């Protein structure tokens, strides 16, 4: 049976976010004690928290990528307009 480590998913997505330019910080980790009486509820609690963290990282990555695309579009337009202006005025910028 294959073991799934949800924390590794969060770490992998955090690396992807960092590679995309997101400033990723790691907060304090919390130890969770699980016993027979709390196994189910604590497992669900931990998985829910990891899912929230993972979604936040994915949202930040998508926002960063959208910002990068918008910047690139505006930068290209600026460069084109600057080149056109230089061409018309013969002034170097």
Q: In whole angstroms, what is the distance from residue 50 CA to residue 42 CA? A: 12
Q: How confident is the model at residue 77 (pLDDT cuts 50, 70, 90)?
A: very high
Closest CA to 59 of 7, 24, 8: 24
- Global pTM reads 0.72
- Chain position carrying tokens 């990528």: 65
Encode pLDDT of 28-50 as tens digits. Answer: 888 877 788 888 888 898 889 99
Segments making up each domain of the chain, as ranges: 63-93
């Amino acid at each position: 049976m294959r073991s799934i480590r949800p924390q590794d998913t969060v770490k992998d997505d955090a690396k992807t976010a960092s590679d995309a330019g997101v400033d990723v910080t790691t907060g304090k980790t919390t130890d969770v004690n699980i016993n027979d009486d709390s196994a189910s509820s604590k497992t669900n609690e931990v998985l829910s928290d990891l899912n929230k963290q993972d979604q936040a990282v994915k949202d930040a990555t998508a926002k960063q990528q959208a910002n990068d695309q918008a910047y690139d579009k505006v930068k290209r337009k600026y460069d084109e307009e600057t080149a056109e202006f230089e061409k018309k005025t013969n002034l170097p910028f």
